[in-house]
């Protein structure tokens, strides 16, 4: 197999790691993700990962929690580091070399994020997991994923979700929703399709970085996407 992409950034949601649980991790989900990631590493694809933190802490309404937005966002960043450590453990258990880099310094458990070092790691075949978002409040992990992908010169962002692409409406709520095989950035904006938050989406659009939205929970899908098969929805101008 000749992969269609040499270097990718995989964006995963924290909620996906819960599986059927209401909080934390489902070890079987982490094991499946690790196996799928190994399948593309074995094909010499260079991989970086950004994971959300919603399975542990999601920034909530300040009025409800009494926690100010910036403080809550930092809590969410720490949750992404915990998820990064869990994914790192799952990958290393099956023989995949990894590096965890954090945008917030915590030397005992993660390297500080250094762009050139991250690029060097992926060039050497190590999977780099980026934790702590951008290191700044008011930015989502979608934005962190877009930013890191651009910084390390990734060819595409693969957004692994529980839905098999982008639809005209939420397919879990509207059975008549139609799936797009391919769509432009501008059409996503015009139709108000929430692929990512607008900051993340605009970063990708301005830097001509394609996005593929696909179902990560279906084993083997990641390898199919990297192989160039028509899986999910491609967002590209």
- Residues 103 and 53: their CA atoms lie apart, in Å, by 14
**96-111 tens-digit pLDDT:** 999 999 999 999 999 9
Q: Residues 14, 56: contact at Cβ < 8 Å?
A: yes
**187-235 tens-digit pLDDT:** 999 999 989 999 999 999 999 999 999 999 999 999 999 999 999 999 9
Listed residue (205, 101, 116, 195) closest to 153, CA to CA: 116
Confidence at residue 61, expressed as pLDDT on a 0 to 100 scale: 66
| Sign of the CA dihedral running 24, 26, 30, 33 | negative
What does the domain layout of the chain look like in residue ranges?
Answer: 7-235
Q: Residues 188, 201: contact at Cβ < 8 Å?
A: yes
- Domain 7-235: which CATH number of 3.40.1160.10, 2.60.40.1930, 3.30.70.1230, 3.40.50.1980: 3.40.1160.10
**136-180 tens-digit pLDDT:** 999 999 999 999 999 999 999 999 998 999 999 888 889 899 999
Listed residue (76, 80, 100) closest to 88, CA to CA: 100
User: Taking the model in full, what pTM does it have?
Assistant: 0.96
């Amino acid at each position: 197999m000749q992969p269609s992409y040499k270097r990718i950034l995989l964006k995963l949601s924290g909620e996906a790691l819960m599986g059927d649980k209401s909080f934390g991790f489902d070890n079987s989900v982490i094991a499946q993700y690790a196996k799928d990631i190994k399948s593309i590493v074995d094909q010499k694809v260079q991989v970086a990962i950004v994971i959300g933190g919603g399975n542990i802490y999601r920034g909530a309404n300040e009025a409800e929690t009494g926690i100010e937005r910036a403080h809550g966002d930092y809590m969410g960043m720490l949750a992404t580091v915990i998820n990064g450590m869990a994914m790192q453990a799952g990958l290393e258990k099956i023989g995949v070399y990894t590096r965890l880099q954090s945008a917030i310094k915590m030397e005992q458990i993660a390297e500080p994020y250094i762009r050139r070092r991250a690029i060097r790691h992926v060039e050497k075949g190590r999977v780099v997991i980026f934790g702590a978002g951008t290191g700044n409040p008011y930015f989502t992990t979608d934005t962190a994923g877009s930013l890191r992908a651009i910084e390390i010169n990734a060819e595409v962002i693969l957004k692994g979700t529980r839905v098999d692409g982008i639809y005209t409406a939420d397919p879990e709520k509207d059975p008549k929703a139609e799936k797009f095989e391919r769509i432009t950035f501008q059409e996503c904006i015009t139709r108000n399709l929430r692929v990512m938050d607008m900051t993340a989406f605009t970063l990708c659009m301005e830097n001509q970085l394609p996005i593929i939205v696909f179902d990560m929970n279906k084993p083997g899908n990641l390898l199919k996407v990297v192989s160039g098969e028509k899986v999910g929805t491609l967002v590209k101008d």
